[in-house]
Structure 1
Amino acid sequence: MNVIWRTLLVILRARLRVRRGRILEASEIGRIRLTTLPTDLDILKHMNNGRYLSLFDLGRWDLLIRTGLFDIMKERGWYAVVSSETVTFRKSLRLWQRFDIESRMVGHDDRAVFMEHRAVVDGEVYARVIVRARMMRFTGGTVGHDELFAAVGVPTGMPDIDDWIHEWASASALPSTRTAAPSVWE
């Protein structure tokens, strides 16, 4: 439950930053400062691997609000869902350790947008996640890129997506929700 309070705090801070003119372009890097709390730890006394993903969501909230995308999504009845993500850990975050979450959009393919989040301490990457997300409608169905980019504009200044990210997205994809996906172990 503690992540909900952090989420609300990040949303409020992002809104304040926007009011103060600290908006971001789609290609810019968003940064928020966090501290590893006792509720973030696992039994080995370092940040739980699942908690990283929850905290990277906070970076995504900041980025969506500060780029203006969140308001456009709200107006149109859209929301984003993570369809896949991959995380790599380098170093452990310890109790009370301060760190930044750096977030940026890294591009899109024909169906999804890709984001990267990093946990950074003193300029050093401790963990990184690549996220593939799709835009959905509250009324049902997906939002195509033509409609998305008509609403927000085509992002400029984005880096090219690394080939391995396309390969990962393809290799890790599950069948469509309209297709059977039985759990059969080989």
Structure 2
Amino acid sequence: MNVIWRTMLIHVLARVRARRGERLSATDVGRIRLTTLPTDIDILMHMNNGRYLSLFDLGRWDLLVRTGLWDAMRRNGWYAVVSAATVTFRKSLQLWQRFDVESRLLGHDDRALYLEHRAVVDGEIYARVIVRARMMSGRGKPLSHEELFAATGRPADLPDVAEWVHEWAAASQLPSTTRPAPSVWD
């Protein structure tokens, strides 16, 4: 439950930062400072591996608000869903340790947007996640990039997504929700 309070706080702080002129372009790296709280740790007294994804969501909120995408989403009734994520852990975050969540848009393909989030301590990467997200219309249908970029503008300097990210997305994809996906173990 504590992540909802952090989410609301990050959302308010991102709005304040945007009003103070600390807006981000779609290709900028957003940074927020967090602390590993007792509710974030596991029995081994370091950050629980599942908590990273929840805290990286906070970086995504900051990015959405400060780039102005959140306003376009609210105006049009859109929302984003994560369709895949891959995380790599390098070092453990300890209780009460301060760290930055760095977030940036990597690019897009014909169906999804790709983002990268990093947990960083003193300039050193502790963990990294690549997220594949779909924008959805208020009707629950996937939003085309044409609609998205018509409302928000397409960033001129949006980089190409690395080939390995495309390969990962293809390899990890499940069948669409309109096709069966039975749980059958080999």
Query: What TM bracket, shorter-length normalisation?
Result: over 0.9
Secondary structure of residue in 1 paired with 2:177: coil
Superposition CA RMSD, Å: 0.6
Counterpart of 2:3 in structure 1 is 3
1: CA distance, partners of 2:97 / 2:22: 26
Is contact 2:35-2:96 (8 Å) kept? yes
Secondary structure of residue in 2 paired with 1:25: coil
Q: State percent identity of aligned pairs.
A: 71
Q: Note the C-alpha offset of 1:142.
A: 1.2
* Structure 1 residues 151-162: aligned runs within 5 Å: 151-162=151-162
Counterpart of 2:126 in structure 1 is 126
Q: Note the C-alpha offset of 1:158.
A: 2.4
Secondary structure of residue in 1 paired with 2:104: strand
2: CA distance, partners of 1:87 / 1:2: 22
User: Under a length normalisation based on structure 1, what TM-score does the superposition of the two structures give?
Assistant: 0.99
Is contact 2:108-2:160 (8 Å) kept? no
* Structure 1 residues 1-186: aligned runs within 5 Å: 1-186=1-186
Secondary structure of residue in 2 paired with 1:82: strand
Q: Note the C-alpha offset of 1:137.
A: 1.7
2: CA distance, partners of 1:185 / 1:115: 31
User: Under a length normalisation based on structure 2, what TM-score does the superposition of the two structures give?
Assistant: 0.99
- Detail structure 1 runs of 4+ shifted over 2 Å in the superposition: none
2: CA distance, partners of 1:156 / 1:174: 31
Runs of at least 5 residues in structure 1 that lack an aligned partner in the other structure: none
Secondary structure of residue in 1 paired with 2:42: coil
How many residues of Structure 1 are paired with residues of Structure 2 in the alignment? 186
Q: Note the C-alpha offset of 1:65.
A: 0.2
Which amino acid in structure 1 is aligned with residue 123 of structure 2?
G
